[in-house]
Chain A
Amino acid sequence: MLPVQEPVAAASEVPRAFDAAIFDMDGVVTRTAPSHAAERRKEGVETFASTIALIEALRRRGIKTGLITSSRHGRETVEAAGIGRLFDARLDGVDLDERRPAGRAAPDLFVTCAEALGTTPDRAIVFEDALAGVEAGRRGGFGLVVGVDRGGNGAALERAGADVVLRDLGEIDPDQLAARFRARQEEIAWQVEAEGFEAAREHTMESLFVVGNGYLGVRGALDSPLPGSRSDLFVAGVYDRKDEDVEYSEIEFLAPKRGGNLYAQLEPLPFPFQFTARVEGEPLDFAGPHWRALRRRLDLRLGVLRIEARYETPGGRRTTVRSLRCASLADRHLLLQEAVVTPENHWGAVALEATLAEPNETGRRPPVVRLEHVISGDLELIRYATHASGFEICVASRVAVAGGGREPLVLRRVLSVFTSRDGPDPRAAAVAHLEKFAPGAFDALLAAHEGKWREFWEGADIRVAGSPATEQALRFGSYHLRIAAGDDPRVSVPARALSGRAYEGHVFWDTEVFMLPFYLHASPKEARNLVLYRHRTLDGARRRAQRLGYRGACFAWESTLTGEDVTPTEIILKSSGKTVPVFTGNQQVHVTADIAYAVWRYWEATHDEEFLAGAGAEILFETARFWTSRATRGPRHDHIRGVVGPDEYHHDVNDNAYTNWMARFNLERAAFVAESLGHRVQAKLEAGEPRRWAALAGALYCPGPDDRGVIEQFEGFFALGEYPLSGEERFKAPISRLFDWEKINRLKVIKQADVLMLPLLFPEAFSDDVVAANYRYYEPLTDHGSSLSPPVHAAIAARLGLREDAARYWKRSLWLDLSNAMDNSALGVHPAAMGGTWQALVFGLLGIRFTEAGPQVDPRAAARLPAGWLSVAMTLAWRGRTHPVTVRAEGAPP
């Protein structure tokens, strides 16, 4: 390493967009230097005056500058050119050799130079004229890569990853560079990109890069999926009988068949986006030996997944395959796909073939029944049937191929998906749907889709100035929440949405308690369908209550199409065959009150009177009837016995605080609606019911704070055995806990927020002192075996001003899937954690409460924002209007 210059003293007063600029020497700073030292000394080295001027201008603004060259004569060239004073750090081929560990590749020059300048690549700009250098800059994660096109290779520089291509650096000044840098940051925060390929992480990537629109979801498998890919298509509502070989919630769990229930499992269907490209007969895929690079980029703003793969086939033929796919948000039955095959250095024969037939269909678990596969001209059609539930699924596509020869080969495919849930003849519907589109409609269809995504973001985007990474992760969550919910009130959002097989597509309390607030305030159209789904399953809930010996409606803990409960009664540990009983199906009855709570929240947020007087009242009344029969009379109070609360480690407990509070709220709201809507709902009521509900609400035992301020989670919790919970045991999938269920039932260790749910859902009901006492008591006992736990803790910690705890829990939740924190994202993403993260920000960090006037921000919010955030800005929907909300951090510039 050459000596580092003294730091530049004169710093700009304007906040800097970036910290450093790193220049490749040959071709950017200097014209190619003579290779012999004597010639260099004799002839000198010519520099580009415009580059020198830019470097000087940057340094005047306090930007650190670095110079790199792989030449071993770098020092001499710098000396001959007289440019040493312009750089804070310089690296050449000699330095590189010195840093090369024995037997290993040399470190990346740009990254090493950034380190020498005391910054990180994401805060630095790279200037390069060589394709390899541009690729290195992109690979290194630099904030901006500027390609310098000295000889008509601008397009190649762009393809290699240059964000900006200039013919000469005189075309840009520091202000323009800063603007470009910021624009690039903005772009990065609108996309999630994975570079590289790792077979063992492929299932996780497939979950993260799902495209969907609520009607369907397609996992983000490669265009030519690997033989072991989980390249599933899920169509909301297409359930079938349970296949016992499909994992339940964890890789290690199997759940046995659910009797004769025909709708126990969301059916994974074959991948619709498959195509194969070949060069001289050699397949371009990632199962073979020819792949060289892979980049998968999910454009969150436009709901489009782009995949770029590079291959090298025998003879050194290099070929790039770029593809685009989306599930239209403008037309729920429509999928779009484009593939472009570009031979980079050859004219070998290129072939491109798209197919709807999955190569390994016979090995698919669970298997599907293929009824028909037809190819006729540019139309291809495939039709499946589920095994037991009687659904038919038809996927049809039209393909147009253009180019070839010396031009890139372009394939454009328009696909249509219909099922027998859409109408009696999905085949005819799919064909007719495709026929609507004129040849060449692809661009218009894509534009319509993108337009819908732009509309969505107008209401859902959250801007976090100062933290693009946070913005990006929030958008990732909002993206997945959006593609999870559709316009069909017959279905709701499963625990892993339409992104994976875990939980078999079952709908839990997750939707009402964790996700619904996002939809209410960011995408209200979807919210109504979600609450109507519960009304659609009300008959099933009634039957369930009756079967259990109760009145009214008892909603399923795990629900699919009919409202019948599909919770397994036991889980089989794959390895040992040992069974673990599952108590939640019969005992986690709080879901019934959670749904009533959601009805009320929906009405509060929308004032949808028609809904409240109709479906809403019916749900509230039937659930209230359930509680009147479920509660038992004691000497002083009524009690709810034999339940499981949100903390699933304890079963058969009495008077779970959360359950009883929620049931009381359910009874109160039912009585209130019955009284206030009067004759409009009279026909739905039996004589005296509102009075009885109100009376039970008053008599129901709801554990309150003790003298320490702590609410007992359930009767006898305080007397349970102590359990020393180590740090290592936290945040893990709770397999061992479930395995030791009998022992754990007697100990003070809890899976997830239980009592702490109450101040999240009823913030006004508890003083800060009581909330603090409960946080101090329960937080150390919680192992966060559920992804639902961290966001609740983040929200509560934020309310209490525990900034470190709040940030820690919130970040864990925010990046849960992107970091595969629970090691189970391969089975699908966690939409409830995404919804919980959103709530922790809005109701926790910002402390927003809704009044008649709209959202009101807690005055303490500015002091609660995590370090580095300058401001948060969003809009929140409330009663038919959208309300802008902005919170600036204390001391942040306006």
Chain B
Amino acid sequence: MSRFDSILLPLDGSPESAKAVGCAVWLAERLGATLHVLYSTSRPLPPGEALDRLCAGPARRARTVLHQTRHEPVQAALEETAEHAVKLVVMSARGGSASAGVDPGRELGRVATALIEESAVPVLLLPVHYRESLPWESMLVAASGEAAADQALASAVRLSAMLRLRVSVVYVAEAAAGVGPLAAYADAPQHEYPRRLEEMVRRAIVGASPEECRCVDEVRVRRGDPATELLADVEDRRSSVLALGWHGALGATRAPVLRRLLERAECPLLVVREVSRSRVRLKVGDAIGEL
């Protein structure tokens, strides 16, 4: 429910992490936000040099705050997030280790992994194949009907309204019909999903203002493998950024869609972890539990 007035950009001094600078600066300028730059490095730079590296104009510099730390970067980022009421984290999916050529097949670095697992605010991840394309014009949101996706949709709509982006929402129905929230309509998905999806979207952004709701200009269904279809949709519609919710745990076999997106996407990924406070518990006897 934030206004994205405070952005955190964690950097480790590596070229890979610096890929996020352009996007973070652009976002901060468009949102009128304070940009908190967090350098986690064993060799702090002179402040002026660090700011110069951001290539920000004088007006931007006035709203940029530099924090340099030798502390453990994850802890430092979480502390800065809390201390400065950060509403959005912008960072590369990998940093120093990728720049050093360590484990080149890996899609997500240690710090990024920890931050998307633990940060309570959305994280804009720039994947390893990220290609900067500014300004943004549109955002694609992956819908699933699950709470995490709903929260991602709500965040995406708020951000898009502030950035004046068009939002399109896509639901990827996997080949085996009859699963997921649309199961009741399994017999004729091609006819019945889209408007059902509109209702799903309406429910997810029930707290959004009419102006925010107007950002959503299309809701559609694709069928197939979720990661493949989402990326194809980004390509087809030339979406600037892809937003998705996730449950928040990257075990060995968990979050396969997010992993594949991180491997292959060239656009930024707005990753929103499900915040558990937003569950409703209906206390109606042990037969029901959570709705």
Per the bound structure, the CA–CA distance linking A740 and B1 in Å amounts to 43
Within 8 A of B (CB), among A198-238: 198-205, 208, 226-229
Q: Which residue of A lies closest to B197 (CB)?
A: A575
- Contact across chains for B285 and A573 when beta carbons are under 8 A apart: no
- Contact across chains for A360 and B280 when beta carbons are under 8 A apart: no
User: Please, which residues of chain B bring their CB within 8 A of the CB of A815?
Assistant: 284, 287-288
Cβ of A305 < 8 Å from any Cβ of B? no
Q: Which residue of A lies closest to B203 (CB)?
A: A200
Q: Within the complex, which residue of B145, B147, B284 is in contact with A476, where a contact is CB–CB below 8 Å?
A: B284
Per the bound structure, the CA–CA distance linking A862 and B198 in Å amounts to 49
- Contact across chains for A472 and B150 when beta carbons are under 8 A apart: no
- Contact across chains for A576 and B191 when beta carbons are under 8 A apart: yes
User: Please, which residues of chain A bring their CB within 8 A of the CB of B178?
Assistant: 728
User: Please, which residues of chain B bring their CB within 8 A of the CB of A15?
Assistant: none
User: Please, which residues of chain A bring their CB within 8 A of the CB of B180?
Assistant: none
Per the bound structure, the CA–CA distance linking A733 and B2 in Å amounts to 37
> Interface code A465-488, partner B: CB below 8 Å = 1, 0 otherwise?
000111011001000000000000
Cβ of B83 < 8 Å from any Cβ of A? no
User: Please, which residues of chain B bring their CB within 8 A of the CB of A293?
Assistant: 277
- Contact across chains for B150 and A200 when beta carbons are under 8 A apart: yes
Cβ of A684 < 8 Å from any Cβ of B? no
Cβ of A851 < 8 Å from any Cβ of B? no
Per the bound structure, the CA–CA distance linking A208 and B285 in Å amounts to 15
Cβ of A194 < 8 Å from any Cβ of B? yes
- Contact across chains for B204 and A200 when beta carbons are under 8 A apart: yes
User: Please, which residues of chain B bring their CB within 8 A of the CB of A194?
Assistant: 280-283, 291
Cβ of A39 < 8 Å from any Cβ of B? no
Cβ of B206 < 8 Å from any Cβ of A? yes
Cβ of B199 < 8 Å from any Cβ of A? yes
**Chain B nearest CB: distance from A572 CB in Å?**
10
Cβ of B192 < 8 Å from any Cβ of A? yes
Cβ of B258 < 8 Å from any Cβ of A? no
User: Please, which residues of chain B bring their CB within 8 A of the CB of A473?
Assistant: 284-285
> Interface code A762-774, partner B: CB below 8 Å = 1, 0 otherwise?
0000000000000
Cβ of A195 < 8 Å from any Cβ of B? yes
Cβ of B286 < 8 Å from any Cβ of A? yes
- Contact across chains for B284 and A818 when beta carbons are under 8 A apart: yes
Q: Which residue of B lies closest to A251 (CB)?
A: B199
- Contact across chains for A103 and B117 when beta carbons are under 8 A apart: yes
**Chain A nearest CB: distance from B260 CB in Å?**
21
Q: Which of A283-291, A515-523, A636-644 contacts B (4 or more CB under 8 A)?
A: A283-291
- Contact across chains for B203 and A360 when beta carbons are under 8 A apart: no
- Contact across chains for A122 and B147 when beta carbons are under 8 A apart: no
> Interface code A394-438, partner B: CB below 8 Å = 1, 0 otherwise?
000000000000000000000000000000000000000000000
- Contact across chains for B194 and A819 when beta carbons are under 8 A apart: no
Q: Which residue, A101, A193, A205, A228, has most C-beta atoms of chain B within 10 A?
A: A228
Cβ of B171 < 8 Å from any Cβ of A? no
Cβ of A455 < 8 Å from any Cβ of B? no
Q: Which residue of A lies closest to B3 (CB)?
A: A289
**Chain B nearest CB: distance from A355 CB in Å?**
18
Knowing A228-B206, A286-B207 are in contact, say whether A739-B150 is a contact too (CB < 8 A).
no
Within 8 A of A (CB), among B206-246: 206-210, 213
Cβ of A811 < 8 Å from any Cβ of B? yes
User: Please, which residues of chain B bring their CB within 8 A of the CB of A739?
Assistant: 187-188, 191-192
> Interface code A279-318, partner B: CB below 8 Å = 1, 0 otherwise?
0000000111111110000000000000000000000000
- Contact across chains for A103 and B118 when beta carbons are under 8 A apart: yes
Q: Which residue of B lies closest to A814 (CB)?
A: B287
Cβ of B205 < 8 Å from any Cβ of A? yes
Q: Which residue, A103, A202, A292, A739, has most C-beta atoms of chain B within 10 A?
A: A103
Cβ of A820 < 8 Å from any Cβ of B? yes
Q: Within the complex, which residue of B2, B3, B193 is in contact with A575, where a contact is CB–CB below 8 Å?
A: B193
- Contact across chains for A122 and B286 when beta carbons are under 8 A apart: yes
Q: Which residue of A lies closest to B1 (CB)?
A: A289
- Contact across chains for B186 and A227 when beta carbons are under 8 A apart: no
Knowing A574-B195, A736-B186, A739-B191 are in contact, say whether A199-B203 is a contact too (CB < 8 A).
yes
Per the bound structure, the CA–CA distance linking A468 and B204 in Å amounts to 33
- Contact across chains for B282 and A198 when beta carbons are under 8 A apart: no
- Contact across chains for A251 and B196 when beta carbons are under 8 A apart: yes
Cβ of A675 < 8 Å from any Cβ of B? no
**Chain B nearest CB: distance from A733 CB in Å?**
5
> Interface code A835-870, partner B: CB below 8 Å = 1, 0 otherwise?
000000000000000000000000000000000000
Knowing A469-B285, A575-B192, A736-B186 are in contact, say whether A104-B203 is a contact too (CB < 8 A).
no
- Contact across chains for A193 and B282 when beta carbons are under 8 A apart: yes
- Contact across chains for A198 and B1 when beta carbons are under 8 A apart: no
**Chain A nearest CB: distance from B207 CB in Å?**
4
Per the bound structure, the CA–CA distance linking A198 and B277 in Å amounts to 9
Cβ of A196 < 8 Å from any Cβ of B? yes
Cβ of B154 < 8 Å from any Cβ of A? yes
Cβ of A141 < 8 Å from any Cβ of B? yes
Cβ of B122 < 8 Å from any Cβ of A? no
User: Please, which residues of chain A bring their CB within 8 A of the CB of B2?
Assistant: 289
- Contact across chains for B192 and A573 when beta carbons are under 8 A apart: yes
Cβ of B102 < 8 Å from any Cβ of A? no
Within 8 A of A (CB), among B153-197: 154, 178, 183-188, 191-196
Cβ of A823 < 8 Å from any Cβ of B? yes
**Chain A nearest CB: distance from B243 CB in Å?**
16
- Contact across chains for A288 and B192 when beta carbons are under 8 A apart: no
Cβ of B279 < 8 Å from any Cβ of A? yes
**Chain A nearest CB: distance from B100 CB in Å?**
25
Knowing A228-B213, A575-B194 are in contact, say whether A202-B287 is a contact too (CB < 8 A).
no
Per the bound structure, the CA–CA distance linking A286 and B154 in Å amounts to 13
Cβ of B114 < 8 Å from any Cβ of A? yes
Knowing A103-B118, A227-B207, A228-B205 are in contact, say whether A195-B1 is a contact too (CB < 8 A).
no
Cβ of A357 < 8 Å from any Cβ of B? no
User: Please, which residues of chain B bring their CB within 8 A of the CB of A360?
Assistant: 210
Cβ of B60 < 8 Å from any Cβ of A? no
Knowing A575-B196, A736-B188 are in contact, say whether A120-B283 is a contact too (CB < 8 A).
no
Q: Which residue of A lies closest to B281 (CB)?
A: A195
User: Please, which residues of chain A bring their CB within 8 A of the CB of B286?
Assistant: 120, 122, 469
Q: Within the complex, which residue of A101, A120, A287, A820 is in contact with B249, where a contact is CB–CB below 8 Å?
A: A101
Within 8 A of A (CB), among B102-157: 114, 117-118, 145, 147, 150, 154
- Contact across chains for A193 and B196 when beta carbons are under 8 A apart: no
Q: Which residue, B191, B198, B285, B288, has most C-beta atoms of chain A within 10 A?
A: B285
User: Please, which residues of chain B bring their CB within 8 A of the CB of A205?
Assistant: 280
Cβ of B253 < 8 Å from any Cβ of A? no
- Contact across chains for A575 and B195 when beta carbons are under 8 A apart: yes
User: Please, which residues of chain A bring their CB within 8 A of the CB of B213?
Assistant: 227-228
Q: Which residue of A lies closest to B187 (CB)?
A: A736
Knowing A575-B195, A576-B191, A820-B291 are in contact, say whether A198-B117 is a contact too (CB < 8 A).
no
Knowing A226-B207, A251-B199, A287-B207 are in contact, say whether A103-B184 is a contact too (CB < 8 A).
no
Per the bound structure, the CA–CA distance linking A360 and B209 in Å amounts to 10
User: Please, which residues of chain B bring their CB within 8 A of the CB of A229?
Assistant: 206
Cβ of A192 < 8 Å from any Cβ of B? yes
- Contact across chains for B184 and A735 when beta carbons are under 8 A apart: yes
Per the bound structure, the CA–CA distance linking A72 and B231 in Å amounts to 48
User: Please, which residues of chain B bring their CB within 8 A of the CB of A196?
Assistant: 277-281
User: Please, which residues of chain A bring their CB within 8 A of the CB of B183?
Assistant: 728, 732
User: Please, which residues of chain A bring their CB within 8 A of the CB of B204?
Assistant: 199-200
Per the bound structure, the CA–CA distance linking A470 and B288 in Å amounts to 11
Cβ of A252 < 8 Å from any Cβ of B? yes
A-B contact pairs, 6 of them (CB 8 A): A196-B277, A196-B281, A251-B195, A287-B208, A739-B188, A819-B291
5 tightest CB-CB pairs across the interface, nearest first? A469-B285, A736-B187, A574-B195, A228-B206, A575-B195
Sample of 7 further A-B pairs with CB below 8 A, known A194-B280, A291-B1, A575-B192: A199-B154, A199-B205, A228-B207, A251-B195, A289-B2, A575-B191, A735-B187
Binding site for B on A (CB under 8 A): 101-105, 120, 122, 141, 188, 192-205, 208, 226-229, 251-252, 286-293, 360, 363, 468-470, 472-473, 476, 573-576, 578, 728, 732-733, 735-737, 739-740, 811, 815, 818-820, 823, 826
